Structures are given as structure tokens and as C-alpha cells.
Amino acid sequence: MLQARFLRIFSLLLVLTGSLSALTGQETSKPLPVIEIKAGAATIRAEVARTPEEKALGLMHRTRMSDNAGMIFILDGKSRASFWMKDTSLPLSIAFLDAQGTILQIVDLQPFDQTAVRSESDRVAFALEMNQHWFSLNRVKAGDKLTLVGSNWSKLANLGR
């Protein structure tokens, strides 16, 4: 009886784990924190990549991402940023942001492209990856200031330290 109950619970856990993986398009691991960012009329739900490991993994191995979902990378704000698309099948656009959340530059990224894309500015504090063309479809452009919901850019930067 106890063994049968254990097998039912274990099977349910496998189903739930598989469902979570199917929803996020990624292998289940420690979930990243999620923040909300206002960009024009849109609200983005962005996973926060803080550690070197989280930043290195980024959106690799994802098979899909919701329309207003993305990933924000906490950078040092004192150098140029460089990104590539190794093992990333999603077509993405990346916005390079300064320490106040102002968009410095937006660049489209191509799936599996291992060519490094470098920011023009050496003041990049954050990088926000979204589905390709999300910024243009939502009329968000370089020079626009993004706003964190319930937080500020300084607090977010401190999560990366």
C-alpha cells in the first residue's frame, strides 16, 4: 500500500516537472527570479540572470518564450557588453541599457549565430533579451527609459553583486 502511494506521488511529480518544462521550454532547474518592467504601454516579465553561470546559460536551449517574457542580464555598467547566440534557437532582440534603465541600443540576434554582438556604448549596466522584433512591435526604441515595477535600477544592480 505504501509502495503504491509512493509510486503515485512520484508519477505525479514527474508529470508536474514535465509540464513545467513544457511551459517554459527549458529543463527544470533552480528558477530565476522574475521582475516586471514597464516599456511604453507593455509590461515585461523578465527572468533575472545574476550569476556568471546564469548569464552564461542565458536563454540557451529554450524552445519558446511567451510574448511579453524576456531575460535581463545584470552587467557591470563600466564596459562594452558582448553577447552571442550559441545553443540559442530563439530569434531574439537585445536592448543594451544604462544604469538608469535607458535603452542605449537595440540589436537583432540570429539563432545559433556564434558571432559576438558588442554594444556601441561602454556604459551598459543591463541587457534585456526579448523575442525578435518585440521592441519595434511595441514601439520601444533607443532613448526610451524603462521602469521597474516595485523596485529601481540600483536595487536590481545590487542583485548582481
Q: Write out pLDDT tens, residues 15-35.
A: 333 434 444 444 446 899 999
**3 state SS for 128-139:** EEEECCHHHHCC
Is residue 129 within 8 A of residue 94, CB to CB? The reply is yes
Give this prediction's pTM.
0.81
Confidence at residue 13, expressed as pLDDT on a 0 to 100 scale: 37
For the chain, percent of residues with pLDDT exceeding 70: 82
Could you give phi then psi for residue 71, rounded to 5 degrees?
A: -140, 130
Residue 104, C-alpha cell as written in the block: 542605449
What does the pLDDT read at residue 73? 97
pLDDT tens-place string over residues 98-140? 999 999 999 999 999 999 999 999 999 999 999 999 999 999 9
